[in-house]
Amino acid sequence: MQNIARNLFGGLVLILIGTLLYLTVFSDGLGKAPAITVKTAQGQMLALNQPMKPVMVTFWATTCSGCIAEMPHLAKIKQQFGDKFELVAVSMEYDPAEQVEKFTAKNPYPFSFVKDTDGKIASAFGKVLLTPTSYLIAPNGNIKYRKVGEVDFDWVTQVIDQMTPNL
């Protein structure tokens, strides 16, 4: 009986080690970014599933105090990395277009604002409902970070810095 229990335990340990190995070495982390193309503040088209540089996509709303509070911090990250990094702020479908336009005109942050008027972008990212929700996408299109709530700016800055040494 002890042999059977020992063999089962050993098999379970091997399965757990194999799973851990797969998740850390072979997995794409949080998956691939959806095949969505957005227009940047510079007028260029950017494919989020193949961006060729780190991209942060943050879903926000004009009625979200946390979203508004984190925008100056997002602007600092964009300024720090310049053209080696892209930041896309996606307004939620329910946010009135005139409110979004008024906010962006009054607050000319150095990143791209995209209106998700039909909810397709939020849906493509797994039906985002809460704001702020942010995704950090690696140059190869893999999602490296997902956060519902305000971003951990120190950690995100370190990760972007690691992804941009040769860009």
Residue 135, pLDDT above cutoff 90:
yes
pLDDT of residue 4: 77
| Averaged pLDDT for residues 109-116 | 95
| Mean of all residue pLDDT scores within the chain | 87
* In this structure, CATH architecture of domain 31-163: 3-Layer(aba) Sandwich (3.40)
Distance of alpha carbon 151 from alpha carbon 164, whole angstroms: 19
Residue 3, pLDDT above cutoff 90:
no
Q: What is the pTM of this model?
A: 0.81
pLDDT of residue 40: 84
109 by DSSP, 3-state: which? coil
Measured between its terminal Cα atoms, the distance across the chain in Å is: 60
pLDDT of residue 36: 94
153-163 vs 65-81: helix crossing angle, rounded to 10: 30
Domain boundaries, the chain: 1-30, 31-163
